[in-house]
Chains A and B, each alone.
Chain A
Amino acid sequence: MFARGLKRKSAEDGEDVEGGLAGAQAMPSYSLQRQSLLDMSLVKLQLCHMLVEPNLCRSVLIANTVRQIQEEMAQDGTWRVVAPQAAGRAPLDRLVSTDILCRSVREQEGERPGPDAGDGHTPDLVPGLATVPSAQALRSPQSSLWEVDSSRENRGGFQKSLDQIFETLENKTSGSVEELFADVDSPYYDLDAVLTGMVGSTQSGHGSGLQAFSSATAPPPSSSCRSDLGELDHAVEILVET
């Protein structure tokens, strides 16, 4: 699903520049790349290999990375919901220039925006900077973001975690990434919720699963069922540990 290696920038720039390597002329700013990394990380946290329990070490490392980015963004005061994409754009599968993100702090000092410097990004710039189509889904029209927010009480644990991430993004508070691990002792990701959600709104193509997050239409199984499972797991855990 993810492209490998560095990607070329959008052809609409009229140039064929390899991201980050050869001194690209229109290098995306640090904060845009940071946003892109954050989006990629959130996508990684949500993608689960359905049949086997996900790797806890990997999840912890990604969650810590998300937290770092959020903390830095909070310091910068650059929390904002990215401007909505116009519908019908071409798929955005270009990897943001990786070089900036890999550079050390010292090198970046000259480039990072001040606390209230705007990113200066207009909708025109954004297309060149998003990652995979699924990331685009996360930044879908603002209305669906709010939908996700408002119907939270119907969520299972998995959607709940995602909500909290969104809440974090909009409220500029840090620390809600921890919620991600709140249910790790119960089914690691609430597969029922995920699978139901995906089935409910599925379209063809690999990005479809994540479209579920932007549409509030797919109802998860009842939360009472999930809490039963959670308790059972808890009981089993006690048995195992004694």
Chain B
Amino acid sequence: MELEKTRADIISTVEFNHTGELLATGDKGGRVVIFQREQESKNQVHRRGEYNVYSTFQSHEPEFDYLKSLEIEEKINKIRWLPQQNAAYFLLSTNDKTVKLWKVSERDKRPEGYNLKDEEGRLRDPATITTLRVPVLRPMDLMVEATPRRVFANAHTYHINSISVNSDYETYMSADDLRINLWNFEITNQSFNIVDIKPANMEELTEVITAAEFHPHHCNSFVYSSSKGTIRLCDMRASALCDRHSKFFEEPEDPSNRSFFSEIISSISDVKFSHSGRYIMTRDYLTVKVWDLNMENRPIETYQVHDYLRSKLCSLYENDCIFDKFECVWNGSDSVIMTGSYNNFFRMFDRNTKRDVTLEASRENSKPRAILKPRKVCVGGKRRKDEISVDSLDFSKKILHTAWHPSENIIAVAATNNLYIFQDKVN
């Protein structure tokens, strides 16, 4: 198990682009792999838009911080796509310290017919050139190139946990444990600090930033979550440094449920705006919560992801699983939410019907075009044939990263070093 943890191909982030045509993954080794959906063809109706590898490149390399005598991991923490504005695709990828803007473009033509060089590529003597020949573009095999266009470095003392592209498409933010910076895509040598929760005296540190995201439509608004289970909505128009929030979302603690682990399990690992911009979803260790932006004092919906772990918290604290950071995603219409769990299980909750399902991402269950069977965890008493007992769960198989296609029912699930793509069954 130790070996598995240090494998460079462990997937650390998954993200569809805005059309769903492309799916990007980042891994622990600093690599980005982009999949592209096949065009549907009339001949092959069954091959309904499968995803194939489109481009692979090394985004980040390991670095060494000489001042602190510490390595900077090359692991890709997050990838975020920019909306497409021309033929090329652009994405942001980040490790703990540095954000990079990558351009992914296709080349399927090549200019031919230069007469300035001889057959061996040496420059000809200009005196021998008597005609002006304009090169002609000729087709070539498709080549996909990824080039780093911007490197945004040296702005984060602590580890970057989030990046978010603003709806103005000109700026984006990067958030670390204590600070959030605002960048302009064109400017790499400076950024604006918009949130700073570092206490003057570090001995007083009790809370860190865990995730942040821009509002999908209002380019002045963003939210960030904390390790104490709170969410703050900030308005950049109010002041340059958004240390004072416009809204503060926190659910009052249930005093009867308090234990030494209460704070740890309340720490929010992910926050996501709904596509509509009216709701935010947060993930803490045991639940997913949906909040209405207009109601700060409690969430409007709470979903139990794996409540059977509540009695195991001490063990999960001992083996550090209690610190696992699960992400959560909305479907395109904001009607279904999805998040991962252990044993390669992931969960979906339908907000309208209130039904939920547990599915498993594993090789045994995933022959191509096989239908996923719902799974169930047995919490006590008699275990039925298909159920799995809590004590048999494999806590090394955790699904932290999932993604949902922006408009269709296609999901991507990262299970350690494997990527699973599931689609709605047709017919």
Q: Are A3's CB and B318's CB within 8 A?
A: yes
| With A233-B68, A240-B157 as contacts: A61 and B318 at CB distance below 8 Å | no
**A65 interfacial contact with B, CB 8 Å:** yes
What is the CB-to-nearest-CB distance from B193 to chain A, in angstroms, rounded to a whole number? 7
Residues on B facing A (Cβ under 8 Å): 65, 67-73, 96, 154-155, 157-159, 177-178, 193, 201-208, 210, 227, 255-261, 263-264, 267, 310-315, 317-320, 323, 391, 395
On chain A, the residues within 8 Å of B204 by CB distance are 178, 181
Per a CB cutoff under 8 Å, which of B70, B312, B323 touches A55?
Answer: B323
Most buried by A among B203, B210, B227: B203
**Interface flags, A27-42, vs B, CB<8A=1, else 0:** 0000000100100100
| With A55-B323, A56-B158, A60-B206 as contacts: A95 and B315 at CB distance below 8 Å | yes
On chain B, the residues within 8 Å of A37 by CB distance are 260, 314, 317
On chain B, the residues within 8 Å of A52 by CB distance are 70-73
**Interface flags, A1-32, vs B, CB<8A=1, else 0:** 01111100000000000000000000000000
**A171 interfacial contact with B, CB 8 Å:** no
| With A53-B68, A57-B227, A187-B68 as contacts: A103 and B159 at CB distance below 8 Å | no
Q: Are B318's CB and A40's CB within 8 A?
A: yes
How many contacts between A and B, using CB within 8 angstroms?
Answer: 139
Q: List 11 A-B contacts (CB under 8 A).
A: A52-B71, A53-B159, A56-B158, A56-B178, A60-B206, A60-B227, A61-B264, A102-B312, A102-B313, A179-B203, A181-B202
Residue of B nearest to A184 (CB): B202
| With A2-B319, A105-B258 as contacts: A51 and B205 at CB distance below 8 Å | no
What is the CB-to-nearest-CB distance from B323 to chain A, in angstroms, rounded to a whole number? 5
Q: Are B69's CB and A191's CB within 8 A?
A: yes
Give how many A residues have a beta carbon under 8 Å from the other chain's beta carbons: 54
**A98 interfacial contact with B, CB 8 Å:** yes
Q: Are B206's CB and A69's CB within 8 A?
A: no
**A232 interfacial contact with B, CB 8 Å:** yes
Per a CB cutoff under 8 Å, which of B155, B157, B178, B311 touches A99?
Answer: B311
What is the CB-to-nearest-CB distance from A97 to chain B, in angstroms, rounded to a whole number? 9
Taken together as a complex, chains A and B put the C-alpha atoms of A231 and B315 apart, in Å, by 40
User: Do most interface residues of chain A lie in helix, strand or loop, or is the interface mixed?
Assistant: helix
Taken together as a complex, chains A and B put the C-alpha atoms of A35 and B36 apart, in Å, by 54
Most buried by B among A4, A179, A188, A232: A4
Residue of B nearest to A50 (CB): B70
What is the CB-to-nearest-CB distance from B262 to chain A, in angstroms, rounded to a whole number? 9
On chain A, the residues within 8 Å of B157 by CB distance are 185, 237, 240-241
Q: Are B260's CB and A60's CB within 8 A?
A: no
What is the CB-to-nearest-CB distance from A76 to chain B, in angstroms, rounded to a whole number? 14
What is the CB-to-nearest-CB distance from B256 to chain A, in angstroms, rounded to a whole number? 5
Taken together as a complex, chains A and B put the C-alpha atoms of A101 and B311 apart, in Å, by 9
Per a CB cutoff under 8 Å, which of B70, B210, B311 touches A57?
Answer: B210
Taken together as a complex, chains A and B put the C-alpha atoms of A51 and B73 apart, in Å, by 9
Q: Are A98's CB and B203's CB within 8 A?
A: no
Q: Are A64's CB and B70's CB within 8 A?
A: no
What is the CB-to-nearest-CB distance from B4 to chain A, in angstroms, rounded to a whole number? 14
Q: Are A4's CB and B319's CB within 8 A?
A: yes
Q: Are B259's CB and A4's CB within 8 A?
A: no
Taken together as a complex, chains A and B put the C-alpha atoms of A5 and B317 apart, in Å, by 10
Known: A56-B159, A104-B258; 5 extra A-B contacts, CB below 8 A, are A3-B319, A102-B259, A102-B314, A106-B256, A241-B193
On chain B, the residues within 8 Å of A40 by CB distance are 317-318
Q: Are A236's CB and B67's CB within 8 A?
A: yes
Per a CB cutoff under 8 Å, which of B68, B73, B260, B323 touches A68?
Answer: B260
Taken together as a complex, chains A and B put the C-alpha atoms of A102 and B65 apart, in Å, by 40
Q: Are A105's CB and B255's CB within 8 A?
A: yes
Q: Are A178's CB and B260's CB within 8 A?
A: no
